[in-house]
Structure 1
Amino acid sequence: MITGTPHSFKWRLVRWLVLFETAAISLVIAIAVGLLWATGYLIDGYENGNIDVLTDAIVRDGQNNLVVQETPELARLRREVGEIWFIARDRAGHRLSEGAVPLAFAFATAGLDRMNDGRFRLSPDKDSRPEAVVKWVDSPAGNIQIFTGTEGQLTLRRLLLGTSGAFLTIFVPMLLLLALATIIVTPIVVRRMLAGLSHAAAHAAHIEFDQQGVQMPIKGVPAEFLPLVEAFNNALKRLDEGYARHKRFLAQAAHELRTPIAILNTRVATLPPSDGKARLIEDTNRLATLAGQLLDLQRLGKRTTPFCPLDLRALAERVIVDLAPLAFAAGYEMSFDPADEPMIVLGDHSSLERALTNLVQNAIEHGGRRGKITFRVMAPARVEICDEGDGVPLAERERIFEPFSRLHPGGKGAGLGLSLVREIVHLHGGHVAIVDATSGGACFRIDLPPA
């Protein structure tokens, strides 16, 4: 029994793929940053260390002058480097300086107002780290120009801010794109991969109880699900074998019963007339009917001849002619309401005749031996047999079609007649049910597909 809502394999796969991609991208970023930090590429080759610290430390006082605010990062820079030097200025002419500009860069101090960004190297190697830089930056004091050395290193806060910015501007869009592609593409891929399994499941959904030798197709089924499909096919095979044994048992039992029943009928017929003889004859007829019904069930499962067209109205007339004397003798009136024209259906003549006969006999047996039994044939291919007895309770209308199920346990029937009717009707692609009758009794309705 399934409890709760079953999980979707497709969407669970999509969710895990998105989580895996997120974790993978985050891990790649962490490894890349860690390697760059460990190798010193970001630290030793970083030329804006002093500028980064000074950018956060330079502010304005109450007179709008540029002043230095001692920040923890500036204090750390002073401890690591010692004496630092810088010149800071804004476009309004405010100027702030500290330390002595090295002689090698003194020439640049006079031309700072004509510079934007610049690098100053003492070494001719273009790939080496410059010894001084000049750069316009946005600081708490506004947009200012800073000219200073490059002794400082990249701070952890700047590294995290830069990494976060790169992650938000580059990797997050990439991640969203991957997630979107995963959500769209993965269901399509999974559906195509599981197409064989879906085909097998659809095939299994149309397997009926009376179909033997049917197997789920394994072509296209993924290898991971193949054991499940093979196990289901093996279960179907075992069910077929058990069903075949059951049918053989029914056929053999019915054949074995016919001979002793015939002998018993012969011996009972030789007895002198009495009330006991009448009851014995009734009991032997019941046994003969039971054996005949068992054989009918067995023959239904072995139908090899194709259906042929037959007139349902003519078949009903024949049943009425055969059973009317029995109904009159039991105290009933008979009413036959045929269709205005022949009702042609495809079927087996003897099987459908047996079904209609069983329903009329059931009405005679359970109609209360009073009132009228009505037999109707209506378009397109419907038959109704109604009585004026006590009817069938609503809760019992499905159960009485089960084998050996009887509405009244003390009745004379064996409980196979209505089951046989349902088997015959289903074999012909039709439907049998009990509907409410205007007379208050039971009304059995058979609908068959017209030819």
Structure 2
Amino acid sequence: MKSIARTFTLSLGLAATVLFLATITIAVWQSQLREYEPVVCRVAAGVLYDAAVVDPGHALTIRSTRGVEQLKSISPNLWYVVSYEKQITEFGGEHRPALPFSLPYGGPIGFSVLNTLDQNSTFCLAVIPWGPSDLVMMVGGAQVRFGQMLMSFVGRNIFPLFLVALAFASMVLIGAWLSGRFVGRGIDRVTRRALAIDPSAPQGSISLDEVPIELKPLVEALNRAFDEINAYIKMQRRFLGNAAHQLRTPLTLLRARIEDVADPPLRIALVRDMRRLTSLVSAMLDLARLQNHAIEKGPIDLADVTRDVLADFSPSALDAGIELSLEQPEEDGTVVQGVEAAVRSALANLVGNALIHARGARRVTATLHRGRVSISDDGAGFSPGDERQLIEPFQTGNAAEGGAGLGLSIVQEIMAAHGGEFIITSTPGGGTTASLRFPEATARAMSDNRSGNVETA
């Protein structure tokens, strides 16, 4: 796809060139209508001047050039007399009328249109300096083509035409630059308004008030597409929430009936499967609520929430032979704005994911910093580039261990709802680190950068 600005510039340049050439053509045509005889005089005299030759013996001849032959072919009544000093050459003497002066002519230099002696016709007199003397040409009955008149006009007015062409080119460049700026500004306004729309809830639309007329059909199509996408997203979220809600009642009844199973191994297996299914339904409900932005923030202490989550998972970690630890290099700055239940759920997902899917892990560590908490393990890790795949819904790090596959996706939604970041880094054989970075951490980093700049200054 070509650049709009480039295409517009080329189009404007082509239009200006056509206009310029048309202007010159009209000017020559008007000149022909007003001053046909003087123009013909100059053209014919120029053709003869280019063909004139004086040999060393001072013999004057008119060479049979292309211009001369063309002049003769289109002028059946052509005659001319050319003289240089005392040398005279003549063509079409039978058509030449009586002249009002004798030859050779010794008058002033220049171009003139004179009447013949009988006053019935006119002829051209051209006196042009040539070496030590003047070349005198008298031409009558000449006819010239429009192209010859055009070339003669351009030759006589080359400097004014250059100035006009320069003015046209300047107008084209300035017009293209200004038009490109205006078009670019219109597109930028549309782009900014499109980027301001929340991708997770594109119910907003781009206002047509400040949109150029040429872009309104495009913006209307975008608004229509946004509305359709928003309706589809709402339908999907509504279906997800309703499905999860409707599943809760049969799950509760099924859980009660499992307790009546007489076979202990079968009952244990059914209870485990029921917990996984219940976890999946709860995760779907949490995901539906977060996607609908049902969140009200308040101050929460990451240190307290992290300790509680680690305490909840201590029995599971003990059974798995994995050590849980907490590191807090800084004693303050762990209070962030958010929803405690949602943050607790995110941390529980990360810790539980590390205990289940971190192959070969012997230790899981929670590290607290200002506005940030990280869960690290010393397991096998995974290959770089798999982070995005793990965050996708219904993807798990270890398919052999089972799992709902919604945990990390819910963590991502929780951090998006809090305006923060969820970052996963891993090194094969070096473990995995999952970090929750809240806006407070970003604000502190910006403050530290400003302070460092001031001190350096």
Per the TM superposition, whether the score is higher than 0.5 is yes
Query: Hey, what's the Cα distance between the residues in 1 that align with 2:174 and 2:113?
Result: 53
In 2, the alpha carbon distance for the partners of 1:183 and 1:262 equals 75
**1:299 and 2:295 equivalent?**
no
1:136 equivalent among 128, 133, 136: 128
**Residues 274-309 of structure 1: per-residue CA shift (max 9 Å, x gap):** 111111211111122112111111221233554223
Which residue of 2 is the match for residue 236 of structure 1? Answer: 226
Counterpart in the other structure of 1:61: 55
* TM-score, structure 2 normalization: 0.80
The equivalent residue for 1:324 is 314
1:160-199 alignment runs, 5 A limit: 161-166=151-156, 168-193=158-183, 195-199=185-189
2:12 to 13, 17, 37: 17
- Name whichever of 96-105 and 285-294 sits farther off: 96-105
* Contact 1:332–1:369 (8 Å) recurs in 2: no
Q: Percent identity?
A: 26
Q: C-alpha separation between the residues in 2 aligned to 1:244 and 1:82?
A: 91
- Secondary structure of 1:263's counterpart equals helix
- The alignment status of 1:346 with 2:330, answered yes or no, reads no
Structure-2 separation of matches of 1:366 and 1:215 = 43
Contact 1:367 1:387 in 2 (8 A): yes
Q: Is the 8 A contact 1:131 1:150 kept in 2?
A: yes
Give 1:262 deviation, angstroms. Answer: 1.7
Shift of 1:71: 3.7
Q: What's the counterpart of residue 413 of structure 1?
A: 403
- The code of the aligned residue for 1:373 comes to V
Amino acid at match of 2:357: H
RMSD after superposition: 3.7
Cα distance change on mapping 1:59 and 1:166 into 2, 3 Å: closer
**Structure 1 residues 84, 443: CA separation in 2 closer, same or farther (over 3 Å shift)?**
closer
C-alpha change, 1:387 and 1:122, in structure 2 (3 Å) is: closer
Alignment of 1:94-243 (within 5 A): 96=88, 104-106=100-102, 112=106, 115-117=108-110, 133=125, 135-138=127-130, 142=131, 144-147=133-136, 149-153=138-142, 155-156=144-145, 159=149, 161-166=151-156, 168-193=158-183, 195-243=185-233
3-state secondary structure, aligned to 1:250: helix
Could you tell me which of 367, 374, 380 is aligned with 1:376?
Answer: 367
8 Å CA contact retained: 1:118, 1:134: yes
Bigger Cα displacement from structure 2, 194-203 vs 227-236: 194-203
Aligned partner of 2:250 among 237, 243, 260:
260
Q: Which amino acid aligns with 1:42?
A: Y
Query: Equivalents in 2 of 1:319, 1:328: separation in Å?
Result: 14
Return the match for 2:391 from 401, 409, 419. 401
Q: Deviations over 1:140-192 (max 9, x none)?
A: xx353355645243545853541442574444542343233212322322431
Change (3 A) 1:88 1:283: same
Query: TM (normalized to structure 1)?
Result: 0.81
Q: 1:258, CA displacement in angstroms?
A: 1.4
Q: Give CA deviations for 1:225-250 in whole Å, capped at 9, x if unaligned.
A: 32222122111111111111111111
Work out the CA distance in 1 between the residues paired with 2:99 and 2:43: 21
Residue 266 of structure 2 aligns with which residue? 276
Worse-superposed segment, 20-29 or 352-361: 20-29
Q: Which stretch of structure 1 is more off in the superposition, 362-371 or 80-89?
A: 80-89
The aligned amino acid for 2:431 is G
The residue number in structure 2 matching 1:3 is: none
Deviation by residue 1:113-165 (Cα, 9 ceiling, x = unmatched): 7x445858569xxxx98667462334xxx353355645243545853541442
From 300, 305, 310, the equivalent of 1:315 is: 305
* Offset at residue 411 of structure 1 (A): 2.6
1: CA distance between counterparts of 2:161 and 2:124?
33
Shift of 1:382: 2.6
Aligned residues: 429
The one-letter code of the counterpart of 2:7 is R
Q: Which residue type is aligned with residue 53 of structure 2?
A: V
- The code of the aligned residue for 2:320 comes to A
Match of 1:393, SS state, is coil
Greater displacement, 297-306 / 284-293 = 297-306
Which segments of 5 or more consecutive residues in structure 2 lack a partner in the other structure? Answer: 444-457
One-letter code aligned to 1:11: R
Closer/same/farther in 2, CA of residues 166 and 26 from structure 1, 3 Å limit: farther
Kept in 2: contact 1:403–1:415 (CA 8 A)? yes
Structure 1 residue 200: Cα displacement: 1.2
- Following superposition, the deviation at residue 210 of structure 1 comes to 1.3
Counterpart among 354, 357, 360 of residue 351 in structure 2: 360
**SS of structure 2 residue aligned to 1:224:** helix
3-state secondary structure, aligned to 1:384: strand
- Per-residue CA deviation, residues 331-363 of structure 1 (Å, 9 max, x unaligned), is 222111123223222211111111001111112
- Name the SS of the counterpart of 1:375 in structure 2: strand
Distance in 2, matches of 1:177 and 1:356, equals 70
Distance 1:322 1:45 in 2: 106
8 Å CA contact 1:195, 1:221 repeated in 2: no
Q: Do 1:200 and 1:218's aligned partners in 2 also have CA atoms closer than 8 Å?
A: no
What is the identity, as a one-letter code, of the residue corresponding to 1:295? L
Question: 1-side partners of 2:386 and 2:111: how far apart?
Answer: 98
Distance in 2, matches of 1:429 and 1:118, equals: 87
